[in-house]
Structure 1
């Protein structure tokens, strides 16, 4: 099943991997009463949480967060549309370096099913293309770590937000682009989700390029976490430390 880590410069990134299938993380359902409570307590647009309005979105609207100006270019998060993007994302998933971690190699239908699980869900995970200077070159999943099965394995805090990343093009790997984009997206989360005090990631401990990329992006190593199918490095980017790391 797909791992929960986000490998950047190696091109491999996670999808939640905390049970017997890729759907385990994304299919966790909250009782409607609890979801209603989250909706009631989400700040309105007037309180500064972009996109978290009466629609009850658990993450807001990442499409409205950018663009972010980085040393690699201008990055925009563009929400995935299956009919438009599945061929491109599926091609990335079939790269052996990516498939080793995401485990979504195969026909387009495999990738489409993974994307549809998120798009048809309750909004706790949002798949996006990373478009750099107008060219789609990466794939992100922004998700509510505190509402994910991952929260069973670390001391989660309300509004913890996770990032998964896949660098699609081989030419963009191994030269620091992943770290640059990770920092930019983590900062977008912190800028547009004021209730979020921490951005979380869980790369596989064996994926040293991924762990290194997160460290270079201002994340700190917090702990080793035993997940059902891997031992992960819990990486944290703290709002309080964002200007220091």
Structure 2
């Protein structure tokens, strides 16, 4: 399970916030019930992996191109490549489990136009490494150190089957946050709560100090949850699990329309299970 905290804010915040469905035939509701049948997507994955030996497994590594020189500043971040020009290791099939995050487009927020851009290590590794070495972020993500540590965290997602997509968050074109959009029902997290097919999780950190303490965490959490629900019709719930110690993060989720569902023990932390329900979307 990936680290679970990064920075979200409600005005006063830590720098680090969280690393945050029903079966379509059952109808959307907010009741937590245990789904005993294996999700169809998971069954399909097993079938595909046995039938297509040329498709890499989640643990295979393709190092791709070396990171471009840069100090992690915004000026080192170039304009994103067109969505039809992925990194060499970015498989066509990898986004299927999350309904093509790269094509979701922007969300209009009170802070500006926000969109998710899938990470490219050749372009983004210096910036992400710099963010991970911010002490306020490192306290929860525990990925401080040389670029190789950050890359080792990204690589299984980039080379995997698409159940987790690491993204930069761009506000009016400026990269200012890091997100992981992932299938919570296919994640180890599903062992710790009554998961439903197509539950979608989000993890977040706000990277730039200038973007903290302004309420952006709440604004962006709501925007990204809306993007998930808009573009993943089979998903009835957006899930997150911030560290209970990170009270600004938990408060930001509550302000963004999530409800507190339970406390869960995840081994390395005790987390607040936060849920945003499609059925309650217009009310919270």
Coarse TM-score class (shorter-chain normalised): 0.7 to 0.9
CA distance in 2, matches of 1:113, 1:220: 33
Q: Does 1:8 align with 2:8?
A: yes
CA distance in 2, matches of 1:33, 1:239: 25
Per the TM alignment, residue 147 of structure 1 is displaced from its structure 2 partner at its CA by 0.2
Alignment counterpart, residue 35 of structure 1, candidates 42, 45, 51: 45
Q: Does 1:159 align with 2:169?
A: no
Q: Does 1:68 align with 2:107?
A: yes
Check whether the contact 1:143–1:163 (CA below 8 A) recurs between aligned residues. Answer: yes
In the superposition, relative to structure 1, how do residues 192 and 38 fare at CA in structure 2: closer, same or farther (>3 Å)? Answer: farther
CA distance in 1, matches of 2:99, 2:148: 28
Structure 2 SS opposite 1:186: helix
CA deviation string 1:14-41 (max 9, x = no partner): 449xxxxxxxxxxxxxx985415699xx
CA deviation string 1:24-66 (max 9, x = no partner): xxxxxxx985415699xxxxxxxxxxxxxx9471112112112
Structure 2 SS opposite 1:141: strand
Per the TM alignment, residue 155 of structure 1 is displaced from its structure 2 partner at its CA by 0.3
TM-score normalised over the length of structure 1: 0.83
- In structure 1, the residue matched to 2:80 is none
Q: Does 1:238 align with 2:281?
A: no
CA distance in 2, matches of 1:38, 1:185: 30
CA deviation string 1:116-167 (max 9, x = no partner): 1110111000000000001000000000000000000000000000000010
Q: Which runs of 4+ in 1 moved over 3 A?
A: 13-16, 31-34, 36-39
Higher relative contact order (CA 8 A, sep 6+): 2
TM-score normalised over the length of structure 2: 0.72
For 1:181-196, list aligned pairs within 5 A: 181-196=220-235
C-alpha RMSD of the superposition: 2.2
Check whether the contact 1:145–1:162 (CA below 8 A) recurs between aligned residues. Answer: yes
Structure 2 SS opposite 1:159: coil
